[in-house]
Amino acid sequence: MSRFLPPPLAAALPKISTPAYVADMAALRRNLETADRIRKEAGCRVLLALKAFAMPVLFPLMRESLDGTTASGLHEARLGREEFGREVHVYSPAYTESSLRELASVADHIYFNSPDQIRRFLPLVRAAGKDKKIGIRINPGYSHATLGGHLYDPCSPCSRFGVVRERLDELPWDEIDILHSHTLCESLADGSTGLIDHVAKELGPYVGRVEAVNFGGGHFINKKGYDVDALIRAIRDFRSAFGVDVILEPGSGIVVDAGYLVSTVLDIVHNKKDIAILDASASCHMPDVLEVPYTPPLCGAAGPGIEPFTYILGGNTCMTGDIIGEYSFPRPLKPGDRLVFGDMLQYSFVKNNNFNGTALPDLSLLHEDGSYEVVRRFGYDDFRSRLG
Ligand SMILES: Cc1ncc(COP(=O)(O)O)c(C=O)c1O
């Protein structure tokens, strides 16, 4: 749980108004180099899953190393088209006719989730242009999500994602360009290569009918311990065995460990234990802490009872369960102390909410020369505008 506070961030701390998400440009650049290497050495395409991370100010940098974006629906697809450029892919568990009409003019790769949706909407997509690529998400029956048990496993029992094996022959394969198989979550290379091998062994006849296979997201390519060479080998072998293109669409793996959430201690209270109230909230600013659930890394702190001073860290909302976790520190905490949570770019600000009218953290950048830039500060108007 403990993490070292990088010196450039330590130097910038006095300038940071909290709460603030801080993208670490040096770390992000390193992560993007991994993606670029995979593209080049494996000969595949790598997309950014916008659901995990979407900061348009960084798109010019990101599009140098990525082939485009993948969206969960119309708004993300528009963001990808208007702000990122390059390829725009979209997959939704189900489309409405009106959303698909708009999507057909925005996305170039549209993935369906069921035989019925593809049958109903194929004519509409085809009418939008011959160059549109049609994908189908399948459920390959391969579970390897290492996070949150069934909650993050697309192949968990009774999952609604992807066409199950028994129904694959109902699909109009002559109309389908891409087979899509997203089954991983925070998986190391054994998950990625396991999925690729599984599709090769179990679904070869279907792979033979498409021009590309999209192995989804969840490839934790920048996580310590991820064997990038093993992924590259597996993709190369798959491509040469089937003569198809390969696409990956990671979100977390692109931005893992490349940013922070900086917060301030507002008060210390005592109820059997010491409790610090912060200006960062689990409910509003780090909802995955409660949903997964998990305890985020905190720079300079350890698990409870390891260092001499242990505190429960809680948010400044009315929700009793707005608890980030329990941590210990070498010195007692006091109001005004800065606390820096690590690994805070993925599924963080994209999931923010204003519950209790809570202020949203700044979105900011720590540049490689050590300078600190606030990209967006939120205020009352942002809160008010969503209330109609
Ligand atoms: C279809 C699809 N593609 C890509 C992703 C990105 O996954 P990750 O951020 O774990 O890499 C997700 C995440 O839920 C997804 O559902």
Q: Using CA positions, which residue lies closest to atom 15 of ligand 1?
A: 217
Pocket probe for ligand 1: among 34, 51, 89, 150, the residue whose CB has the most ligand atoms within 8 Å is 51
Q: How far is the CA of 325 from the centre of ligand 1 (A)?
A: 26
Task: Determine if ligand 1 sits within 6 Å of the CB of residue 251.
Answer: yes
Residue 191 Cβ < 6 Å to ligand 1: no
Give pLDDT tens digits for 350-361: 999 999 999 999
Residue predicted with more confidence, 136 or 145: 136
Q: Nearest C-alpha to atom 9 of ligand 1 is from which residue?
A: 251
The predicted structure's pLDDT at residue 2? 53
CATH code for residues 43-254: 3.20.20.10
Position 349 confidence tier, pLDDT thresholds 50, 70, 90: very high
Q: Report the alpha-carbon distance of residue 174 to residue 330 in Å, rounded.
A: 64
CA distance 127 to 103: 12
Two tokens at 192?
A: 């990625």
Q: Which ligand 1 atom sits nearest the alpha carbon of residue 180?
A: 1
Please give the pLDDT value at position 218.
97
Q: Residue whose CA is closest, atom 5 of ligand 1?
A: 217
What is the spatial distance between Cα 323 and Cα 277, in angstroms, rounded to a whole number?
Answer: 9
Ligand 1 mean position to 251 CA, how many Å? 6
**How far away, in angstroms, is 253 Cα from ligand 1 center?**
10
* Closest atom of ligand 1 to CA, residue 137: 1
End-to-end CA distance of the chain: 41
Start-end of CATH 2.40.37.10 domains in the chain: 2-23+258-385
pLDDT of residue 143: 87
Write the pLDDT tens digit of every residue in 239-276: 999 999 999 999 999 999 999 999 999 999 999 999 99
Q: Are 80 and 102 in contact (CB under 8 A)?
A: no
For residue 345, pLDDT beyond 60: yes
**Ligand 1 atom closest to residue 91's alpha carbon, by position in its atom list:** 1
Q: Are 160 and 137 in contact (CB under 8 A)?
A: no
The reported pLDDT for the residue numbered 244 is 98
CA distances (Å), origin 71, targets 52, 80, 114, 283, 330:
10, 7, 18, 24, 44
What average pLDDT does range 103-122 have in this prediction? Answer: 97
Pairing verdict, β 2-3 and 298-299: parallel
The reply to whether ligand 1 has any atom less than 6 angstroms from the CB of 135 is: no
Distance CA(91)–CA(376), nearest Å, equals 29
Determine the atom of ligand 1 nearest the C-alpha atom of 251: 9
- Burial class, 283, CB count within 10 angstroms (exposed 0-12 / middle 13-18 / buried 19+): buried
Ligand 1 centroid vs 330 CA: distance in angstroms? 38
Question: pLDDT tens-digit profile of 28-45?
Answer: 999 999 999 999 999 999
Residue of minimum CA distance from atom 10 in ligand 1: 218
Query: Is the minimum distance from the CB of 162 to ligand 1 under 6 angstroms?
Result: no
140 pocket-lining for ligand 1 (C-beta < 6 Å): no
> Which numbered atom of ligand 1 lies nearest the CA of 219?
11
The reported pLDDT for the residue numbered 144 is 85
For 6-32, how does the pLDDT look when each residue is reduced to its tens digit (9 = 90+)? 999 999 999 999 999 999 999 999 999
| 56: confidence class by pLDDT, cuts 50, 70, 90 | very high
2-23+258-385: CATH architecture: Beta Barrel (2.40)
Closest CA to ligand 1's atom 13: 217
Q: Quick one: pLDDT band at residue 293, thresholds 50, 70, 90?
A: very high
Per-residue pLDDT, 159? 94
Dump pLDDT digits (tens) for 143-195.
887 777 788 899 999 999 999 999 999 999 999 999 999 999 999 999 999 99
Ligand 1 site, residue 49, Cβ cutoff 6 A: yes
Share of the chain above pLDDT 70, in %: 99
Is ligand 1 within 6 A of the CB of residue 216? yes
Domain with CATH 3.20.20.10 in the chain: 43-254
Residue 70 has pLDDT above 80, yes or no: yes
Closest Cα to atom 14 of ligand 1:
217
When the pLDDT of each residue in the chain is averaged and rounded to a whole number, the result is 96
**Gap from CA of 49 to ligand 1 centroid (Å):** 6
Q: Is the CB of 181 under 6 A from ligand 1?
A: no
Question: Could you tell me whether strands 309-314 and 323-329 are parallel, antiparallel, or unpaired per DSSP bridges?
Answer: antiparallel
